[in-house]
Amino acid sequence: MKRRIRERTAVITVATLVAAGAVGIGLGTSAGAAPQKPPTKARIAALFDGWNAALTTGDPEKVADRYASDAVLLPTVSNKIRDTHAEIVDYFEHFLENKPAGKKIETIVNVLDENSAVDTGLYEFTLTDPDTGAKRTVEARYTYEYEKRGGKWLIVNHHSSVIPEG
């Protein structure tokens, strides 16, 4: 079993300013740069809509592109952990055969800072059997962990599991 340990490193920018013989130190931002504001909860919740729209394209690469290169996917209808781009694409190649259409039932968003947030809750998918055309609904609980990388919000961790009976 392979095990990966991820480290998140906080970077502190130290700008030294020399003026009138005094040295000033600024932490967190460059001199003159405005601090970033955290995203709104609505902005983070709407990231699901973009992911769901990628599903409707039927293109597994378009869906997988919404994930960071080091993302982990614990998918709804597979017991295999997907932690590479190729594995995430493979999952969606099969999942998209069912023409999934997702809808959030309940969502709770926690904005952690200007570059990270978590969206968790319940959603349901309408799936269409590719052979018979029969539709079924699958209810699941989910967690999306997002990070803003290179100015783009990406999924770094996605867990989805069918709601247990009872």
Average pLDDT over residues 144-159: 98
Cα dist from 99 to 47, 53, 63, 121, 142, whole Å: 20, 12, 13, 22, 19
Residue ranges of the domains in the chain?
Answer: 38-162
- Taking only the tens place, the pLDDT of each residue in 6-27 is 443 333 222 222 233 333 333 3
pLDDT of 64 reads 98
Q: What percent of the chain has pLDDT over 90?
A: 75
Copy the structure tokens of residue 11. Answer: 């970077």
How sure is the predictor about 31, in pLDDT bands with cuts at 50, 70 and 90?
A: low
- Taking only the tens place, the pLDDT of each residue in 114-137 is 999 999 999 999 999 999 999 999
Q: Nearest to residue 65, comparing CAs of 5, 152, 142, 124?
A: 152
Cα dist from 88 to 8, 27, 31, 51, 75, whole Å: 22, 38, 41, 13, 9
**Tell me: domain 38-162, CATH 3.10.450.50, correct?**
yes
* Predicted TM-score (pTM) of this structure: 0.78
Beta bridge partners of 143: 120, 159
pLDDT of 58 reads 97
- Taking only the tens place, the pLDDT of each residue in 33-90 is 567 789 999 999 999 999 999 999 999 999 999 999 999 999 998 999 999 999 999 9
pLDDT of 11 reads 33
pLDDT of 18 reads 29
State residue 97 phi and psi, 5-degree precision: -60, -25
pLDDT of 33 reads 57
